[in-house]
Amino acid sequence: ANILKKPCLITMKIKRWERTEVKPNSLPILKKLHVKLGDTVKVITGRDKGKVGEITKVNKHNGTVIVKDLNLKTKHMKGKQEGESGQIIEIEGSIHSSNVMLYSKTQNVASRVGHKIAEDGRK
């Protein structure tokens, strides 16, 4: 079987009886994250601890991020048409945002995000 690297999403299944938190107008409550799309981050816990990568997707509904070439999972795909052989692909799984830390390439160090308020009131 072929092993391909293909972008594919794994979504977390929630149980039927679990409900996501919503605002009074039925819109979902989005989590505020300390990292953004395109940031370079270092994984601080888990199987890929110590590895550095770039964020390719951010999910604000459940507070997770997908980091390029980290937390790889193998997915076995069936052949779509009859007679076509199946294949094994590697996809990036999501990591909770609390398990990653912003990383500086210039200084080669991971650090916490700080916010300062300027004199004119801007953050």
Across the range 11-16, mean pLDDT stands at: 64
Beta bridge partners of 42: 52, 101
Q: Would you list the domain boundaries of the chain?
A: 3-13+30-107
Please say whether the beta carbons of 102 and 113 come within 8 A.
yes
pLDDT at 28: 83
| Non-local CB neighbours of 47 within 8 Å, separated by 6+ positions | 71
Tell the CATH topology of 3-13+30-107: SH3 type barrels. (2.30.30)
Q: Is residue 11 helix, strand or coil?
A: coil
Mean pLDDT of the chain: 87
CA distance 59 to 70: 16
The 10s digit of each residue's pLDDT in 73-118 is 999 999 888 888 899 999 999 999 999 999 999 999 999 988 889 9
Strand residues in the chain grouped as ranges (E): 3-5, 40-43, 52-59, 64-67, 72-77, 87-92, 94-96, 100-104, 109-110
The total of other beta-carbon atoms located within 10 Å of residue 41's CB is 23
